[in-house]
Amino acid sequence: MRKQILTLALFLSSSIAFAQLGEQRNNLSVGINGGSLFSNVSFVSSVKQSTKQGLSGGFTARYISEKYFSMICGLQVEVNYSQYGWKENFTVAGATTVDPRAFSRTLNYIEIPFLSHLAFGWDNGFQGFVNAGPQIGYMISESSKANADYNNALPDLYNNYTNGEKASIEKINSKFDYGIAVGGGMEWHTRKVGSFILEGRYYFGLADFFDSRKGANFERSAHRVIGIKATYLFDITK
């Protein structure tokens, strides 16, 4: 299933590059982006968790290749620093009194989305758009916060840990990440100043960052991220 989804995204991302059906363009724009991320993790076995907020920012390059009827077609590539992760609030298994344990874990990535860009509207004015395509990433660091010391627990206590507690100290098995990004929003494009863009985006991770082999604690551990970002682009060629 993951391979089929990734293959579809690669096809969508590359199809525009080879399309030569409409009014040809040669518009290259570059700029910066930044925003907030709201992430959690798709865990199997399940973990009780809540959304964790993080930051994202980086550089954007976009190439508009053609306008087919009223649809503006292009490709967009970004290089971003992004904070993923999750938050937990759980109770120690077998406790006779309420013993809440708060925990959060942050995974910092350099990510590169490769996106098809389809827009509708005026060349100079407001446009609505959709971005979609594959994304890869590499974890450069991680950090965690907890009100209990799980790492130094005795082995017999570890055996009684909940899935959430095990996730809090599990060692990252794979720093490489990949998945599908889909977004949409509004753009205001001007001839002299550039483009001002507001976008909402969803990232569906396909890679497991914990060990998912038979007998491991988790069969699946992949990112799910909703982002809100603003982008400014200025034209290099028109």
Distance of alpha carbon 12 from alpha carbon 42, whole angstroms = 25
Q: Alpha carbon of 96 to those of 92, 107, 150: distances in Å?
A: 9, 33, 19
Phi-psi sector, 22: left (phi>0), alpha (psi -120 to 50), beta: beta
Band of the pLDDT at 23, cuts 50, 70, 90?
low
How does DSSP classify residue 215?
Answer: T
The CATH number given to whatever domain includes residue 49 is 2.40.160.20
Cα 177 to chain centroid distance, Å, stands at 10
- Residues 59-83 pLDDT 10s: 999 999 877 767 889 999 999 999 9
Domain count across the chain: 1
Confidence of residue 17 (pLDDT cuts 50, 70, 90): very low
CA distance 157 to 170: 15
Q: Which two tokens stand for residue 117?
A: 């860009």
Residue 195 · residue 62 · CB < 8 Å = no
Residue range 214-229: mean pLDDT, rounded? 91
Give the other-Cβ count within 10 Å of 22's Cβ: 15
Element spanning 26, H or E: strand 23-44
Q: What is the pTM of this model?
A: 0.81
Q: Give buried/exposed letters for 60-83 (b at 16+ CB in 10 A, else e).
A: bebbbbbbeeeebbbbbebebebb
Q: Quick: pLDDT tens for 136-163.
A: 999 999 998 877 665 555 445 555 667 7
DSSP conformational letter for 93 = T
Contact 222, 192 (CB under 8 A): no
Over 70: is that where the pLDDT of 88 sits? yes
Mean pLDDT of the chain: 83
pLDDT for 15 beyond 90: no
pLDDT of residue 18: 44
Give the three-state DSSP class for 10: helix
Tell whether the model's pLDDT for residue 172 goes beyond 70: yes
Q: Indicate if the pLDDT at residue 209 is higher than 90.
A: yes
Per-residue pLDDT at 148: 63
Do 80 and 55 touch, CB atoms closer than 8 A? no
Structural domain boundaries, residue 70? 2-237
94-133 pLDDT per residue, tens: 554 444 567 789 999 999 999 999 999 887 889 999 999 9
Stretch (H or E) spanning 190: strand 176-190
What is the distance between the alpha carbons of residues 8 and 134, in angstroms, rounded to a whole number?
9
Rg, the chain, Cα only: 21
CA angle (28 as vertex; 25, 33 as ends), nearest 5: 135
Letter for the amino acid at 190? T
